[in-house]
């Protein structure tokens, strides 16, 4: 698939991305927060179905690091990317934290969305995050888990420099990486080479605040749009993050990907495209190239 680079400026903050494919517009939202976009292989898988628009969220190169970082700011950035492409309404396809951001957009700006696809999302309830950590612990050796915990604490130590904290966060992610997969042997090298620790901390605090305010739990029942949840059955992020969130919505369906962890398009190539093809059907909405 041929993609073209783009840059959108939001009040002087540059957001860098790539676009390509054919069909209706679909905004891809990566997880994290505080990491570069990693959805290139997902965009390639979806290229026959949709025109993908993907970008790195503010906070880490190649986009600008520019606080504040919050759910609201990231949502406004996502809409600005659509505006920059002249798209009034789009499908929004989000992974992990990006899936939760898609849910926030569905609640706060439903008029801009054709529908949402949430791939292994954080979901509407914050209690799944503790289970997420316990599942990682169960998959790792005691030594590796202790090291990951120590690195996580170091990444949050404000007495250290930003660069030291980012190095700790990267090492922690490298330890966790194989265990995102049902089969760690197929994980391949970790995609993460840069980390925006300040973005991650501030955005995560905003996410927790919205959990406490029950923004999604109370807002999603009034959302009226097609919604698909795709979740790997062996994802350390529990399956109920998808099922319990989908149960809040009127038009949501859930598809489980067997023998698969947190990155289904990497571990089971084609499964996300197959699920999206069934979900989108023959009428997918306006194309970017439509008059």
pLDDT value for 1: 65
What is the model's pTM? 0.94
pLDDT value for 21: 87
**Range 3-128+201-280 classified under CATH 2.40.50.140:** no
pLDDT value for 126: 86
For the chain, the maximum distance between any two Cα atoms, rounded to a whole number of angstroms, is 59
Long-range residue pairs from 237-242, CB within 8 A, at least 24 positions apart, any chain: 237/96, 237/120, 237/122, 237/128, 237/132, 237/135, 237/262, 238/128, 238/131, 238/132, 238/135, 240/123, 240/128, 241/120, 241/121, 241/122, 241/123, 241/125, 241/128, 242/118, 242/120, 242/121, 242/123
Go through the chain and tell me how many residues it has: 291
pLDDT value for 282: 55
pLDDT value for 281: 75
Q: How does pLDDT run across 35-71, given as a tens digit for each residue?
A: 999 999 999 999 999 999 999 999 999 999 999 999 9
Task: Report how far residue 39's alpha carbon sits from residue 56's, in angstroms, rounded to the nearest whole number.
Answer: 10
Which residue do the tokens 């520019």 mark?
66
Residue ranges of the chain whose pLDDT lies below 70: 1, 282-291
Which structure tokens are listed for 10? 């939001």
pLDDT value for 193: 92
Which structure tokens are listed for 23? 């069909």
Task: Report how far residue 171's alpha carbon sits from residue 126's, in angstroms, rounded to the nearest whole number.
Answer: 25
Q: What residues form DSSP beta bridges with 92?
A: 27, 116
Residue spans of the domains in the chain: they are 3-128+201-280, 129-197
């Amino acid at each position: 698939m041929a993609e073209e680079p783009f840059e959108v400026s939001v009040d002087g903050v540059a957001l860098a991305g790539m676009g390509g494919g054919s069909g209706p517009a679909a905004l891809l939202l990566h997880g994290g927060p505080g990491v570069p976009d990693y959805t290139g292989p997902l965009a390639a898988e979806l290229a026959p179905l949709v025109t993908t628009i993907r970008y790195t969220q503010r906070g880490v190169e190649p986009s600008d690091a520019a606080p504040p970082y919050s759910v609201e700011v990231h949502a406004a950035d996502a809409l600005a990317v659509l505006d920059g492409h002249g798209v009034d309404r789009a499908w929004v396809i989000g992974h992990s934290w990006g899936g939760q951001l898609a849910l926030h957009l569905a609640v706060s700006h439903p008029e801009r969305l054709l529908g949402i696809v949430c791939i292994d999302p954080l979901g509407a309830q914050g209690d799944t995050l503790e289970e997420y950590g316990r599942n990682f612990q169960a998959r790792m050796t005691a030594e590796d888990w202790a090291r990951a915990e120590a690195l996580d604490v170091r990444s949050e130590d404000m007495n250290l420099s930003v660069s030291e904290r980012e190095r700790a966060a990267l090492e922690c992610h490298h330890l966790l990486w194989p265990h995102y997969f049902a089969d760690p042997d197929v994980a391949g090298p970790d995609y993460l080479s840069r980390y925006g620790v300040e973005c991650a901390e501030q955005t995560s605090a905003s996410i927790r605040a919205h959990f406490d305010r029950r923004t999604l739990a109370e807002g999603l029942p009034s959302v009226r749009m097609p919604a698909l949840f795709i979740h790997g059955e062996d994802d350390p992020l529990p399956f109920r993050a998808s099922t319990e969130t989908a149960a809040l919505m009127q038009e949501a369906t859930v598809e489980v990907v067997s023998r698969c962890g947190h990155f289904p398009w990497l571990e089971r190539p084609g499964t996300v495209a197959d699920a999206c093809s069934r979900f989108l059907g023959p009428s997918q909405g306006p194309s970017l190239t439509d008059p």
